[in-house]
Chains A and B, each alone.
Chain A
Amino acid sequence: MSASAQADSPQATAESVADFLRRVRTGIEGGLDPVTAANRAAEELPQRLARLVQLLSRRVRGDYHEDEWGFDEEFAEAVYPVFEFLYEAWWRVDAVGVRNVPAHGRALLVSNHAGSLFPFDASMILLAIMKQHPLPRWARFLVLDWAFVLPFISAFMRRVGGVPASKHNAARLLEQDEVVMVFPEGVKGTGKQFSERYRLQRFGRGGFVEVALRTGSPIVPVAVVGSEEIYPKLGNARPVARAVGAPFVPITPTFPWLGPLGLVPLPSKWRIEFCEPIDLSAHGPDAADDPRLLFDVSEQVRETIQARLYENLVERRAAFFHPL
């Protein structure tokens, strides 16, 4: 109780921090290593600060877990508030039908893809499940190969649950009963012009259906409305793209004209709909070799998403200006 009373006044907090630093110093002079000293000294701090110091010292010592995919749950939780802000305040996301994502076991979420620079759509789908599902779970997502040859971005993506887009990765994740997001449009989706927004591109070679069949996973089509307005791509700086090896470099109303500020995504209104799962288990794993079935299911998923996109566009009304 006294701890919370202390925390209330900034002066008291400053004093306890000074006291903490003094204790760290005595600890170090007493022969402790700095991390242990900080950890011990933190016991006297107000609770929130103490927990922070303990968390940091645990991280510094490597006392945390990452799974075999490099997903680091603690790290994901640390950056969660940033995406929560985007979800709540920036894009005001409405999520519909989250319960169509199974609470247990494997599932393949298939969604339209847009937003060129960063898979914001993946992160918002992930948040919708974390925030609105009765049994929240971290979804994994397949990321365009190119992101994994970039420094910083590749390491970040991996820690929050991204893996390079590969059938092998998707199949292994599903075998481990994870929820996996795929964007079969790929670069064709992220790189489409603003004028083509919400028109689904070709769905690759139907590789996602093959994976779903082989692993016996239900497919949950997901329609994301709003993501296609955050970076209205008007043109493509092809020479620049070629020079840096990128699939494309978008020219938007704000980028590159406003410099880094132009990378701020526009605050469109979002709606995410999770559709009824498509159960493929009746076909059996061997059906994965039947190209006709692959195309049929792929087309069925594509049509479902396209139809739900149009519906949700109407439901959402204007992209940017909403009367309060």
Chain B
Amino acid sequence: MAGRRVVIIGVASHWGRELARRLERDPEIDYLAGIDTGSAPADLGRTNFIEADIRSPLLSRLLPGTEAETIVHCGILWYPEPGKPARVLHDVNVIGTLQLLAACERTRTLERLVVRGSAAIYGCEGATPYFFTEGMARTLPLRTRFQRDISELEAYVDNFARRHPEVACCTLRYQPEIGPDLGTPLVRYLQLPVVPTQLGWDPRLQLVHADDATAVLEAAIRSRTRGAVNVAPSGSISLSHVLRVLRRPTLPIPHPLFGPALERLGRRLGAGPIYGDGVRLLRFGRGVDNRRLLDEVGYRPHFNAETAIRDFAANARGARISRSIHPGDVVGRFAGAAR
């Protein structure tokens, strides 16, 4: 049973907002609050917006006052955004989580803590288990800043969980999400009119459908599952297959040039660069085992790895193949010659 008093940290983020919107409809929840910097998201109704920076010690004074029973941490940043450059990421993710946990220590009413983390903790390597289970975190070297941050903040959460057995703590390890209006670097990458790929590589991917991604958050706060839980669709799909389903022409680039090329091309075509972790993901791919999600959280994703992509293809806006490089012209020319 979810607590009747829920506080969402990072409510201005996409996932925080989506969750708040869902919980607002739930009559069982008496009190719903959202904490974030900046101004309140316009489309929220009964959510009390509290303006506070997760990195500030102010949180420790604010949070106990809400008498929260459930706290959902949606404030972890996966990639730099306008106004949140790479430098800020570490502060928000690690220091922010520490401040939040410190505030949780003082919140005596707390029963449930859900952290929206990332499957990046497993890393991306060539030869790995094809389906990481929750116990395999940190068995591979932590190569990127984001990976190290995620690993560090999970360690803090674990530590908190040990010291407070009365609080059921759960870290959700999300694979990257996919949805037409998410605007994440990966989604923008898939919407490029010509998609650069790494020559000779074809990563296995699991992209979480946006609907499932929100529903898992809700399912997680209703369950009492403790520890880490992988969030991923069943199955996996290779990037080449994804791009064919999306009808995107590809441009294979030798992998050392992929990152820089994407940065240039991306800027011209309206997609940002893909950061360290993403470049490795698009070379080696990553698959995780989702049995804990199914059995213990009790959530069965509506989309599997392939149908998530097909649904995205059906709903995605974005550039179509431009007329100037239409393959039909090439075929037409051959047809003329064959006469």
A residues sitting closer than 8 Å to B (CB atoms) are 17-18, 21-22, 24-25, 28-29, 33-34, 37-38, 59-62, 64-70, 145-152, 154-155, 158, 163-166, 168-169, 172
Q: Which of B126, B236, B244, B327 contacts A154 (CB 8 A)?
A: B126
Would you call A62 and B126 a contact (CB within 8 A)? no
Would you call B332 and A158 a contact (CB within 8 A)? no
Q: Which of A65, A69, A148, A151 contacts B199 (CB 8 A)?
A: A151
**9 A-B contact pairs sorted by A residue (CB < 8 Å):** A61-B247, A68-B236, A68-B287, A69-B236, A70-B238, A151-B201, A152-B200, A155-B201, A168-B129
Inter-chain CA distance A168–B133, complex, in Å, is: 9
Tell me whether A22 and B126 are in contact in the complex, defined as CB-CB below 8 angstroms, given that A155-B202, A158-B204, A172-B131 are known contacts.
no
Would you call A145 and B200 a contact (CB within 8 A)? no
Would you call B234 and A148 a contact (CB within 8 A)? no
Taking A68-B131, A70-B236, A166-B129 as known contacts, 20 extra A-B pairs with beta carbons closer than 8 A to each other, sorted by chain A number, are A18-B338, A21-B334, A21-B338, A24-B335, A28-B326, A28-B328, A28-B332, A61-B244, A62-B241, A62-B245, A62-B246, A66-B241, A68-B130, A68-B235, A152-B200, A155-B200, A164-B128, A168-B129, A169-B130, A169-B131
Would you call B198 and A169 a contact (CB within 8 A)? no
Would you call B327 and A34 a contact (CB within 8 A)? yes
Inter-chain CA distance A60–B247, complex, in Å, is: 8
Would you call B235 and A38 a contact (CB within 8 A)? no
Cβ contacts B229-248/A at 8 Å (1 or 0 each) = 00000111110011111110
Inter-chain CA distance A169–B129, complex, in Å, is: 6
B331 at interface, CB cutoff 8 A: yes
Inter-chain CA distance A59–B242, complex, in Å, is: 12
What residues on B are CB-neighbors of A17 within 8 Å? 338
B127 at interface, CB cutoff 8 A: yes
B339 at interface, CB cutoff 8 A: yes
What residues on A are CB-neighbors of B247 within 8 Å? 61
Q: Which of A59, A70, A164 has the most CB of B within 10 A?
A: A70
What residues on A are CB-neighbors of B334 within 8 Å? 21
Inter-chain CA distance A147–B136, complex, in Å, is: 22
Would you call A61 and B235 a contact (CB within 8 A)? no
B21 at interface, CB cutoff 8 A: no
What residues on B are CB-neighbors of A158 within 8 Å? 202, 204, 238
Q: Measured between C-beta atoms, what is the minimum distance from A303 to chain B in Å?
A: 30
Q: Which of A25, A64, A148, A168 contacts B335 (CB 8 A)?
A: A25
B55 at interface, CB cutoff 8 A: no
How many residues in B have their beta carbons less than 8 Å from beta carbons of A?
A: 42
B255 at interface, CB cutoff 8 A: yes
Inter-chain CA distance A169–B136, complex, in Å, is: 13
Inter-chain CA distance A166–B136, complex, in Å, is: 13
Inter-chain CA distance A24–B242, complex, in Å, is: 26
Tell me whether A22 and B130 are in contact in the complex, defined as CB-CB below 8 angstroms, given that A28-B328, A59-B244, A151-B199 are known contacts.
no
Q: What is the chain B residue whose CB lies nearest that of A164? A: B127
Q: Which of B204, B241, B242, B335 contacts A18 (CB 8 A)?
A: B335
Would you call A166 and B128 a contact (CB within 8 A)? yes
What residues on B are CB-neighbors of A28 within 8 Å? 326, 328, 331-332
Q: What is the chain A residue whose CB lies nearest that of B305? A: A68
Per CB-CB distance, the 10 closest pairs between chain A and chain B, nearest first, are: A151-B200, A62-B244, A145-B127, A149-B126, A21-B335, A28-B328, A18-B338, A62-B245, A168-B129, A164-B127
What residues on B are CB-neighbors of A149 within 8 Å? 125-127
Q: Measured between C-beta atoms, what is the minimum distance from B14 to chain A in Å?
A: 27
Inter-chain CA distance A21–B127, complex, in Å, is: 44
Inter-chain CA distance A152–B236, complex, in Å, is: 19
Would you call B244 and A22 a contact (CB within 8 A)? no
Q: Which of B130, B200, B255 contacts A69 (CB 8 A)?
A: B130
Q: Which of A37, A148, A165 contacts B328 (CB 8 A)?
A: A37
What residues on B are CB-neighbors of A22 within 8 Å? 335, 338-339
Q: Measured between C-beta atoms, what is the minimum distance from B323 to chain A in Å?
A: 11
Q: Which of A67, A154, A166 has the most CB of B within 10 A?
A: A154
Inter-chain CA distance A9–B129, complex, in Å, is: 53
Q: Measured between C-beta atoms, what is the minimum distance from B326 to chain A in Å?
A: 7
Q: What is the chain B residue whose CB lies nearest that of A166? A: B129
Would you call A34 and B326 a contact (CB within 8 A)? yes
Inter-chain CA distance A147–B204, complex, in Å, is: 16
Would you call A18 and B237 a contact (CB within 8 A)? no
Q: Which of A25, A68, A163 contacts B331 (CB 8 A)?
A: A25
Q: Measured between C-beta atoms, what is the minimum distance from B157 to chain A in Å?
A: 25
Q: Measured between C-beta atoms, what is the minimum distance from B198 to chain A in Å?
A: 7
Would you call B244 and A34 a contact (CB within 8 A)? no
Q: Which of A22, A62, A163, A169 has the most CB of B within 10 A?
A: A62
Tell me whether A61 and B234 are in contact in the complex, defined as CB-CB below 8 angstroms, given that A22-B338, A25-B332, A34-B327 are known contacts.
no
What residues on B are CB-neighbors of A38 within 8 Å? 331
Q: What is the chain B residue whose CB lies nearest that of A149? A: B126
Cβ contacts B92-133/A at 8 Å (1 or 0 each) = 000000000000000000000000000000000111111101
What residues on B are CB-neighbors of A60 within 8 Å? 244
Q: Measured between C-beta atoms, what is the minimum distance from B228 to chain A in Å?
A: 16
Cβ contacts B242-270/A at 8 Å (1 or 0 each) = 11111100000001000000000000000
Q: Which of B201-231 contact A (CB under 8 A)?
A: 201-202, 204
Q: Measured between C-beta atoms, what is the minimum distance from A159 to chain B in Å?
A: 8
What residues on B are CB-neighbors of A64 within 8 Å? 241
Q: Measured between C-beta atoms, what is the minimum distance from A75 to chain B in Å?
A: 10
Inter-chain CA distance A68–B255, complex, in Å, is: 25
